[in-house]
């Protein structure tokens, strides 16, 4: 942060769902990353240079009457004793005390525009600090976006983080095992969703890392399908894109398999094309490689398959150049994965794609989607959507796949 700087890191605001019921509070990733603190209405303040308390944690004060309703709070003593703050403070005293923390700091790290109510408090404290800056005292003259430091720290995962991510992946693996065991024609998609969610919670996952996609038959061609209310039919494929969050970290997995336990020949050809592309793309995840490079590997392999399957005509190079392949593969191949399912960290640095380094984690998730109403496609492929997604860690050598134990070989899936 440099000398004489201060970082303000507030919790995410809570939102009313309806009447007096709130949406579930999910701790802010940055705040949780730095402090481990999970309660709402909190704010961490980190300061460099001469100051009385380098780490101040504002929390909701203990309040037996409120805690009777809402559950136990760590309180200001716990902020110090449990979370290692140099000072714990009551969040209700923020307005009265924030100015002091900004005085004699030159640079303020604060993410403007995420929470307008908090912006108002910070700007008021900043204005007050400027009024009080005299006789050798001073106020911040720079406001810096904290992600410039924090998100780069989060981009590369240490061993403890990777162990947590492996745990999230293992929970997802159990849930997919369960989905494979219970799938059957006649069930509704939400019954599979219920199995996934139940499995996550039974194994201690806090919540799904994102809304589970349980897309049977033609629904697999809707990329963000989450209504999950179709009755599955004999002969459908089922595409499940779901991942557990555990210890604050996400997993993100997609598998596609036949509802009746047997791929049709056409389904199997499409499936094997996606699997070929996915294996080639995973193999490209090496130190120094980049997201666009991994995507290019997947696109080339998929475009070759589109020709073989008779979905497109022409040459591979021309179809890639014209982007005609996007009719069947219209999304990216990868994103960073971590505390956020689409995790933070720059993708480009100084105008060039960022090279992978050991410890960064990304998904590899190619797919083929042939819409049911695509009358130019061979009839046997219409309505087939396939995606296969794994979570991959960059190491100094071969890529490490956190979700490797979830079956994806077509014969293994049938077994
Ligand atoms: Mn994904």
Domains of the chain: 5-153 (3.40.350.10), 156-414 (3.90.230.10)
For the stretch 335-361, pLDDT in tens is: 999 999 999 999 999 999 999 999 999
d(CA 85, CA 271): 53
d(CA 310, CA 331): 21
Q: Which residues of 368-384 are buried (b: 16+ CB within 10 A; e: fewer)?
A: bbbbeebeebeebbbbb
State the average pLDDT for the chain.
97
Average pLDDT (161-181) is 98
d(CA 318, CA 338): 36
Q: pLDDT band at 134, cuts 50/70/90?
A: confident
CB-neighbour burial class of residue 187 (10 A; exposed 0-12, middle 13-18, buried 19+)? middle
Average pLDDT (276-283) is 98
Radius of gyration (C-alpha) of the chain in whole angstroms: 25
C-alpha of residue 158 to centroid of ligand 1, in Å: 21
Average pLDDT (195-199) is 98
108: pLDDT strictly greater than 90: yes
Look at the chain and count its residues: 415
Q: pLDDT band at 400, cuts 50/70/90?
A: very high
CB 347 within 8 A of CB 353: yes
C-alpha of residue 310 to centroid of ligand 1, in Å: 28
For the stretch 13-48, pLDDT in tens is: 999 999 999 999 999 999 999 999 999 999 999 999
C-alpha of residue 108 to centroid of ligand 1, in Å: 34
C-alpha of residue 252 to centroid of ligand 1, in Å: 5
Catalytically active residues are: 20, 224, 241, 252, 331, 335, 342, 365, 369, 387, 389
pLDDT number for residue 332: 97
- φ and ψ at residue 329, rounded to 5 degrees: -145, 95
Percent of the chain with pLDDT over 90: 99
Using alpha carbons, select from 35, 14, 38, 16 the residue that is nearest to residue 27.
38
Using alpha carbons, select from 236, 278, 232, 249 the residue that is nearest to residue 388.
278
d(CA 107, CA 45): 13
Strands 367-370 and 384-387: antiparallel
d(CA 143, CA 119): 12
- The two counts, helices (H) then strands (E), for the chain are 12, 21
Average pLDDT (174-190) is 98
């Amino acid at each position: 942060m440099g000398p004489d700087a201060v970082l303000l890191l507030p919790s995410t605001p809570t939102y009313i769902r309806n009447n007096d019921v709130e949406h579930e509070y999910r701790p802010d990733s940055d705040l949780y990353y730095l402090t481990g603190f999970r309660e709402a209405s909190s704010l961490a303040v980190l300061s460099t240079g001469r100051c009385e308390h380098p780490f101040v944690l504002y929390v909701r004060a203990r309040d037996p009457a409120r805690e009777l309703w809402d559950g136990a709070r760590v309180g200001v003593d716990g902020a110090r004793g449990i979370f290692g703050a140099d000072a714990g403070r009551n969040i209700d005293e923020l307005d009265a005390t924030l100015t002091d923390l900004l005085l004699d700091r030159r640079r303020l790290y604060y993410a403007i525009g995420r929470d307008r109510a908090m912006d108002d408090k910070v700007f008021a404290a900043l204005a007050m600090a400027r009024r009080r800056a005299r006789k050798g005292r001073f106020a911040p003259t720079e406001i810096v976006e904290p992600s410039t430091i924090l998100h780069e720290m989060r981009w590369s995962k240490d061993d403890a983080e990777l162990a947590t991510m492996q745990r999230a992946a293992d929970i997802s693996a159990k849930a997919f095992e369960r989905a494979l065991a219970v799938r059957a024609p006649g069930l509704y998609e939400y019954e599979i969703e219920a199995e996934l969610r139940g499995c996550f919670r039974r194994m201690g996952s806090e919540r799904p890392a994102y809304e589970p996609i349980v897309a049977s038959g033609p629904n697999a061609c809707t990329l963000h399908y989450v209504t999950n209310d179709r009755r599955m039919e004999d002969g459908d494929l089922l595409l499940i894109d779901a991942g557990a969050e555990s210890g604050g970290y996400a997993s993100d997995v997609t598998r596609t398999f036949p509802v009746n336990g047997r791929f049709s020949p056409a389904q199997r050809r499409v499936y094997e094309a996606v699997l070929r592309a996915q294996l080639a793309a995973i193999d490209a995840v090496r130190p120094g490689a980049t997201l666009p490079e991994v995507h290019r590997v997947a696109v080339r392999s998929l475009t070759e398959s589109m020709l073989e399957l008779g979905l497109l005509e022409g040459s591979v190079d021309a179809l890639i150049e014209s982007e005609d392949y996007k009719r069947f593969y219209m999304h990216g191949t990868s994103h960073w994965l971590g505390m956020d399912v689409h995790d933070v960290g720059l993708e480009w640095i100084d105008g060039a794609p960022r090279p992978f380094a050991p410890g960064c984690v990304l998904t590899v998730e190619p797919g083929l989607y042939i819409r049911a109403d695509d009358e130019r496609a061979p009839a046997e492929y219409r309505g087939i959507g396939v995606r296969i997604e794994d979570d991959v860690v960059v190491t100094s050598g071969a890529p490490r796949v956190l979700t490797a134990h979830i079956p994806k070989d077509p014969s293994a899936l049938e077994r």
